[in-house]
Amino acid sequence: MPTRRNGALIEKNTMQSWQLPEHIADILPTTARQLESAKEALLALFRVHGYELVSPPLTEYSHSLLADADPGLSLKTIRVVDQLSGRQLGLRADITPQVARIDAHLLSANNGINRLCYAGTVLHARPDGALSTREPLQIGAELYGCDEVAADIELIDLMLKSLHTVHVGKPLLALGHIGVFYALAHAAELPAADAEELLALMQDKDTASIRRWLAGRELPAEYAAALQLLPELYGGREVLDAMSRLPALPKIEKARATLEAVCAAFPQADIHIDLSELRVDSYHTGLLFAAYHADWPDAVARGGRYNGLGKHFGRARPATGFSFDLRDVAACLPPAQNMHRIAVAQADAAAARNTIERLRREGECVVVDFGGGIGACDRRLVCIDGVWQVVAAN
């Protein structure tokens, strides 16, 4: 029961005051060091491949985050009112649109290739799954200004190298192409609302509902049959040959050529192609790629082509990229190295100040022992014959 103090009700049980929201968790020291080391290694990998680091803000006006234009992002975006302007702010749920804004606006003087990378926290209004965090640490790379499949291949290669860097074993490379679906929907003259409804069924892999949906529409038989066929076009590289069963539309032929080029670029990779694997944000426009592993229930990393996203910010450009949640791979990271610490007694700290600062400049961890316990220290700083020396701890 609450008690009253100075006229105010005070709860005796204060446990709720420190509990975190669902799907939000602290990162403790050991894991934090692992993640920070992994982030540094990944950003170094991106840097030697020519990708420059950008760091967009955690919050901006919600329309800039595509929260009003993308239904999926809209559901994930947490909104608040800006007390300075009275306008609606959004907490970013995806960094990719922010990087597209940077390319379109702040880096608009460069009409050539922009290679950009990032690493930062995003916040989701609801988790992607029962075991998902609502605060992923998103890290990724994006390439703007090139519409050739060579750019997609570069990003896939970088994605696979990134997973190797964070000790994810050989993943399965999954490929899809949302352009095939849109080519068929356009040829069948599906209204935009109907196309989005059918796309949702494709994303859910609901083949029975797809058949019923198509049966209830008066579509040209050729395109209705092709749309019904899409969920069956999955498997290994043989799917490329099976695509000959689809109508010979120019955009489908281009999609097939793109998939063939990617498969040829990774001859040793375990590749799975699925033309109905369309679980993407609405801004994707072409090739889709993802990495799967037996230890994860869903994709470890995802990417794809999203030409024209920059139009929302004033400059439409071809673009491709990938990202993943660094926190999701924490269990694969090597153990954090133990800090080799040097203890110095509080009574000696002032006299040993110069030596302490020199050791710290050299990269040593020196902690002052206040007598309450400082954890594991394998050495101590003591004065022997008037000289401060580091000796083994007793």
Known binding-site positions: 94-96, 138, 142, 279
Annotated binding site for L-histidine: 94-96, 138, 142, 279
Tokens 């200004």 appear where?
A: 145
Burial class (CB in 10 A: 0-12, 13-18, 19+), 142: buried
Question: Residue 293 corresponds to which tokens in the numbers above?
Answer: 């592993």
Give residues with Cβ within 8 angstroms of 339, minimum separation 6. Answer: 365
User: Which long-range CB contacts under 8 A does 129-132 form with residues at least 24 apart?
Assistant: 129/297, 129/298, 131/297, 132/23
Residues 235 and 289: their CA atoms lie apart, in Å, by 14
Strand 137-144 and strand 271-274: the pairing is unpaired
Strand 88-91 and strand 114-121: the pairing is unpaired
Report the first-to-last Cα separation within the chain, whole angstroms: 52
How many CA atoms lie within 13 Å of 200's alpha carbon, on the beta-carbon side?
8
Amino acid in the structure at residue 292: Y
Q: Which helix (H) or strand (E) holds 290?
A: strand 287-292
CB contact at 8 A, 164 and 38 = no
Show the DSSP H helices in the chain as ranges: 29-48, 71-76, 96-101, 149-165, 178-187, 192-203, 207-215, 221-229, 239-242, 250-265, 346-349, 353-361
Strand 341-345 and strand 365-369: the pairing is parallel
